[in-house]
Structure 1
Amino acid sequence: MFLEAALALLALALALVARPWRMLASQKPLVHEEHGAPAALWTPLLATLAILPWAWALPTLHRMPLQLQWSGACLVLLMLGWPLAVPTLLLVGVIATLVSPGLSWPEALGLAVWSGVVPATLAMLLGVLVRRLMGERSFGGARVFIYVLGRGFLGTAVCMFAAGTLAQWTGHVLPGVGEGLSLVARWLMAWGDAFVTGMLSAVFVAFKPQWLATWSDRIYLPRP
């Protein structure tokens, strides 16, 4: 628990240094969003706080032999950006504890760190690498597919599996899964997150790009 608390406090401190509330200060929640307006992050933020806690609490609300955990952290990262995603994911862990009597505070902290902060941080670092590689080469119209497939789909699978592997190395085992099959289970769960994140990121790029703080027309849709 000490490691998870230290990681959570460090990530939260770094995120608050970036003053993420500035991304929301100039916007009002639940207002009509016009096409071409600045990124309206209130909608994905409130949707995350309303939906994701139930997804995190579901394995403890219904006892099953195989408890599969959906994260959603990479999708939250793509929508809100890292400085705003970190406090949001930590708050999701708090809400998940309040809605589920079977989820203790230490378990919620571990969930918020290994299923929230760590994969979101890895996804942020992957995004920095992707943007640097695109800056060095010309991909033309393929840049939008790099965002959707690279960051939304394949990147999510890699980040979720890496975070799950780190969690297992620190002693966080999957309930009902043998130690020899834990990595296989985490690999399969990572692809579940990848499919959802890739699908929704493609939909948002096409219809609601203002819901993606990590999306930029200038970067991913360069003019010829």
Structure 2
Amino acid sequence: MNFPDGLLPASWAIGAHFLLAPVLLGLIQATPWHSLRQRPDLLGAFILFLGGVVLLWTARAGLPQNPGLNLHLLGATILTLAFGWPLALVGMLTALLAVTGLGLSGWHAFSINALVMVVVPVTVAAVIHAVVRRKLPHHPFIYIFVSAFLGGALTLAGLAAAASTVLLASGAYGFDELVREYLRYIPLLMFPEAFVSGGLLAILVVYKPEWVVTFDDESYIQGK
């Protein structure tokens, strides 16, 4: 989902600019830029996955009479687990810039789209992984099926909840219309999101674990 220009009140778009600004400032300091500079293979993988996210966001379904209520896969869990939350934010913001440049999203609504489509999903994915890592045994199957598979589904649900809250609170849509045109389809989208997230992370931890910063052999494999 993303919001086109004019769907939300102008005050909401302006307020989102002020909320996004400190996130961007903190992101500049938190992002491990040196890891991309020092590892060309990781940079290439990051660009490849970034292109995949752009493709996921452009392959969307929706009706013209329901602006903003479009459906597409997200990819936030993959980026968050593979590259860490700072680079995931950078990648998803870049993807949002790309789809906005393609005319699939509004420039005036960029900040509120960034908060809902980028900050919320990456935060949900990062928190889920942190809780799983702290509370559950460190095992590859738990990483793949809970952090990646279940995490992907819950991340998409978090996006839907955040977007629906914004649309309801702003008066853009009523609850019955949201349920009929958007929310009832989210469970159908959660499984493919989970399948793509879990499947890709499973392939990566087997063949390219060095590309997954949240997975280390010593913690998850040795002694298992």
Query: What is the distance in 2 between the residues matched to 1:188 and 1:3?
Result: 33
- Matched with 1:105 is 107
C-alpha spacing 1:117/1:44, structure 2 compared with 1 (3 Å): farther
- Matched with 1:9 is 21
- Matched with 1:131 is 133
Residue-by-residue CA offset, 1:29-85 (whole Å, 9 max, x unaligned): xxxxxxxxxxx4213211133232233233389969884222111111111111111
C-alpha spacing 1:9/1:206, structure 2 compared with 1 (3 Å): same
Residue-by-residue CA offset, 1:10-46 (whole Å, 9 max, x unaligned): 3333322224202212222xxxxxxxxxxx4213211
Amino acid at match of 1:97: T
C-alpha spacing 1:125/1:168, structure 2 compared with 1 (3 Å): same
Query: What is the distance in 1 between the residues matched to 2:115 and 2:208?
Result: 29
Query: What is the distance in 1 between the residues matched to 2:185 and 2:98?
Result: 26
- Matched with 1:54 is 55
Query: What is the distance in 1 between the residues matched to 2:144 and 2:52?
Result: 22
- Matched with 1:145 is 141
Query: What is the distance in 1 between the residues matched to 2:103 and 2:208?
Result: 36
Match of 1:41, SS?
helix
Residue-by-residue CA offset, 1:93-128 (whole Å, 9 max, x unaligned): 111122x23432135544433232211111111111
C-alpha spacing 1:19/1:165, structure 2 compared with 1 (3 Å): closer
Amino acid at match of 2:21: L
Match of 1:89, SS?
helix
Q: Give the alignment's Cα RMSD to 1 decimal.
A: 2.8
C-alpha spacing 1:148/1:63, structure 2 compared with 1 (3 Å): same
C-alpha spacing 1:102/1:158, structure 2 compared with 1 (3 Å): closer
- Matched with 2:122 is 120
Residue-by-residue CA offset, 1:194-224 (whole Å, 9 max, x unaligned): 1110111111111111221211112211326
Q: Check whether the contact 1:44–1:80 (CA below 8 A) recurs between aligned residues.
A: no
1:179 is aligned to 2:191: no
Deviation at 1:133, TM superposition (A): 1.2
C-alpha spacing 1:102/1:147, structure 2 compared with 1 (3 Å): closer
Amino acid at match of 1:194: A
C-alpha spacing 1:59/1:19, structure 2 compared with 1 (3 Å): closer
Query: What is the distance in 1 between the residues matched to 2:113 and 2:162?
Result: 13
How many residues align structurally? 204
Mapping 1:68-107, distance limit 5 Å: 68-98=71-101, 100-107=102-109
Q: Check whether the contact 2:153–2:194 (CA below 8 A) recurs between aligned residues.
A: yes
Query: What is the distance in 1 between the residues matched to 2:158 and 2:165?
Result: 11
5+ residue gaps, structure 2: 1-12
TM-score (normalizing by structure 1): 0.78
5+ residue gaps, structure 1: 29-39
Deviates more, 1:204-213 or 1:17-26: 17-26
- Matched with 1:169 is 165
Match of 1:223, SS?
coil
